[in-house]
Every structure is written in C-alpha cells, then in structure tokens.
Amino acid sequence: MGPRLYNNVDRYEVRFNETADYATVYPYVMADTVGGDLKEEVYAFSGGLAKPFGRFHLGLNAGFNGKQTYRDRDPRIKSISSDITLSLSAVRELDKYVLGLNLDGRKYNQENGLEFVSELGSPLVYHDAGLGVYNDLLAGTRTDARFGGFGYGVALQLAPRQYKGWTAHVGFRGLNINKELGTIRDYVGEIREQAVEGGIAYLYQQGRQHFIARADVSRVKRQGAEAKFNNQDAQVGIIKISEDIRYSNAYTKFNLRAVYGQTGGFADWFIGIRGNYGDHLEQYADPDRVQSYTYINAGLDLTGRKQLGKVQLAVHLGLSRQQNPDAASDWDNINTASAQYGMLERNFAFLTVSGTGYNGSVRADFPINQNIAGFIQAGAGYDNGPAKRDYQAMLGLRF
C-alpha cells in the first residue's frame, strides 16, 4: 500500500466559478457574480505491486483522490469529486538500460450543486461554455450539474540501470469528460483533450554527489463540443438537436531543470534552477473571441534535510520570477458593462501579469510502527504579481 493523504485547503475570493477541479472540467463550469472563499477537503491513497519475470518486471498501481468542496454562506457550493487512476507497467532489462512501457487509465466523476438560503433572492446562475459565453436557455436557476468521463495514456521510457547516464521518455494521453445538467437527459457539453509529451534527462551520482538535468516539452489541445437544444415543444421538454466544437485551448510548454546536491554530511542539501516557457491560444467561435499570451519563468530552489533521531526534517525555500512578453485579446462583441466582460478582464490580467514569487515549506517524516510511517507538512507562498497567497498543511500515512 502506498501513501494516504488528508489535505484541508482554503481558497480565497473565488469568483465566476462554482465548480471544483477547474483545471479538469473547464470551460464547462457553473458560475455566478458573487463567489467567495471556498473550503476543500482532499482524501487520497494509492498502492501497487510488482513482480519480476526473468529480465521482465510487471507492475500495477491504483490510486484514489476524493475531494469535497463547500462554502458555508450564499452561494453555498457543495461539490464531491472522485478521481480513480490505474496504471500497468512493463519493464525490460537491457545491458545498461531498462526499457519501460506504461499504460494508464483514469475514471473521473463530480457532483456539483449550488444552493441559496437567503430570503433576499439570488443572482443569476450561468453555465460557462468558454471565454464568458453561455447558453441563455441554460442560465437561471439550474444549480445541479454532473461531470463524468475517462482518461487514458501510454508512455515509453528509457533509463540507465545505474543512477548514471541518459534517460528519455515520450507519451500520449487523452481525456474525455461530459457535463450533464439537472433533468436534461443529454450532455450539455463534452471536453476532448489530447496531449503529446516527451523529454530527456541526464543523471549522475558519485559518492555523496548527486546531479540531474532535465528538459521536457508538451503540446496540449483541448476542445469543447457544445450541445444545441430545441425547447419549442413544452410537453417534450428540452431536446438536443446537434453539437458543435466551439471552444478550443491549445498550448505548448518547455521546461528545463537542473539539481545538484550532496548527502551524507551534517545534513543533506540540494540546490536547483529551473526555466519554463509557454504559449497559450484560447478561442471561442460564434461569437468569435480569442486571447493569447506567452510567459517565461525562472526559479531557484533550496532544500535541506536532516535526521533528528527517528524524525527526518526537511526545509524547502523557493524563489521565482515570471514575465509575460506577449499578450493579446479580442472580445469586442460583449457589453463592456456586463459581469462577463469584467470576469474576462480580471482573468486575462491574472494570466498575463508579471511578478516575483516566494514559497517555503517544512516537512517532518516519522515512523509510527514497523509497517506504518507518517508525515506532516506545512507551507506558504506569495506572488506579488497577482498578489496571490497560498497556505498549505498536509497529513499523510505510508504503508
């Protein structure tokens, strides 16, 4: 059995989104103009087994991530999501390297609800289809949504049998998730995402010295197929008559990272540098809207690790700087006084702001008995560009 984790998260001033797991289900989120702070509780565990067969090794790993998101004042979001993953690996030993093949599967579900208990009324609830566009037929008081779908992936890896030499990997993954709304029988939207990834790295270990340099690239394309409905027959209700791909988001990322460290002295220490480049193009068709931007990020990490009796203490400090050299948007077909226009402006400003980020964390790992170990971790971060603050505390068990 692998690690078990409980994480309690506070998200401050969340607006224009009343749906959990935004990065998984966007753009088909439920939204209003009020928002507020959110609380999230995350429960996760994973485990696996491996067995050798001569020069082959087979492995199976399964994981579960469950999340409950809620707010204790209007608008009262309550969302429960589950993310189940399964991975099958096969490794073939060569003379100096090992060749590995991974097959991955994923099952995702979310029940998303929104309630108002105030007698003073409630704001209009929107169901975003991308870049502030929504279907007037679905807007209003429809406050229950369901998401469900699956993901898949395949990856090929080459790595040295000893911790010294070159490694390489290439992979493909896909994701399909549907959104259902209230009593409407058909999907109101479907997410289709495909990604190609690859990278190389060099590993070196000699005595107390450790070094790794890595370069990765990924290309991701997400499309949104939006349903069209006919509600002219009141007895039959809302009927899906067609669907169109009207939303797309394509982006490329390049990542470079190098880490050097020494172990076995008074304390283990590591220093790392990283650089990232990305370009994003997000579009919606009819009405035509587009936004694009690029970013460059550079960072420095320092990590120290010390054994204190039975407790291993680790301290991490990080510094990063992001610049957005290019940004453009076009959504002239929207009323500048509308809430949707304000949302687009705020979101685009957040995505394209330059700034400096600081973060740090402390973690303690300790044995509980012969078979179980636990860890406690606390961290915080601040980015002066979007004035973003993060606080994190985690408690986990390893079997």
Per-residue pLDDT tens for 48-107?
999 998 888 999 999 999 999 999 999 999 999 999 999 999 999 888 899 999 999 999
Check whether 233 has a pLDDT greater than 80.
Answer: no
Q: Which residue has the higher pLDDT, 182 or 77?
A: 77
In tens, the pLDDT along 134-145 reads 988 888 888 999
Mean pLDDT of 369-398: 89
What is the spatial order of strands in the sheet that 30-31 belongs to? 30-31, 126-130, 133-134
In tens, the pLDDT along 240-284 reads 888 899 999 999 999 999 999 999 889 999 999 999 999 999 999
pLDDT band at 370 (very low <50, low <70, confident <90, very high): confident
Euclidean distance between CA atoms 96 and 372, whole angstroms: 35
Euclidean distance between CA atoms 136 and 289, whole angstroms: 18
Check whether 232 has a pLDDT greater than 80.
Answer: no
Q: Residue 18: is it exposed, middle or buried by C-beta count within 10 angstroms (0-12/13-18/19+)?
A: buried
What Cα–Cα distance (Å) separates residue 140 from each residue in 126, 134, 145, 158, 347?
A: 7, 11, 13, 53, 23
Mean pLDDT of 344-352: 92
Tell me how many degrees the CA angle 62-63-66 measures, rounded to the nearest 5. Answer: 150
pTM across the whole model = 0.88
Query: What is the pLDDT, as a whole number, of residue 348?
Result: 94
Check whether 163 has a pLDDT greater than 90.
Answer: no
What are the E-state strand segments in the chain?
3-14, 30-31, 36-53, 56-70, 76-93, 97-115, 126-130, 133-134, 144-160, 165-181, 189-206, 209-230, 239-262, 268-284, 289-308, 311-330, 355-367, 373-383, 388-398
% of the chain surpassing 70 pLDDT: 97
- Classified as helix, coil or strand, 327 is strand
In tens, the pLDDT along 278-328 reads 999 999 999 999 999 999 999 999 999 999 999 999 999 999 999 999 999
Query: What is the pLDDT, as a whole number, of residue 87?
Result: 97
DSSP class of residue 218?
E
Query: What is the pLDDT, as a whole number, of residue 281?
Result: 98
- Classified as helix, coil or strand, 20 is coil
- Kindly report the average pLDDT of the chain as a whole number: 92
Among left, alpha and beta (phi > 0; psi -120 to 50; other), residue 165 is: left
For the chain, give every domain's residue range.
3-398
Query: What is the pLDDT, as a whole number, of residue 302?
Result: 98
Mean pLDDT of 156-183: 93
Mean pLDDT of 222-237: 78
DSSP-assigned states of every residue in 29-40: -EE-S--EEEEE
User: Per the structure block, which two tokens stand in for 254?
Assistant: 């390049």
In tens, the pLDDT along 111-133 reads 999 999 987 777 889 999 999 99
% of the chain surpassing 90 pLDDT: 72
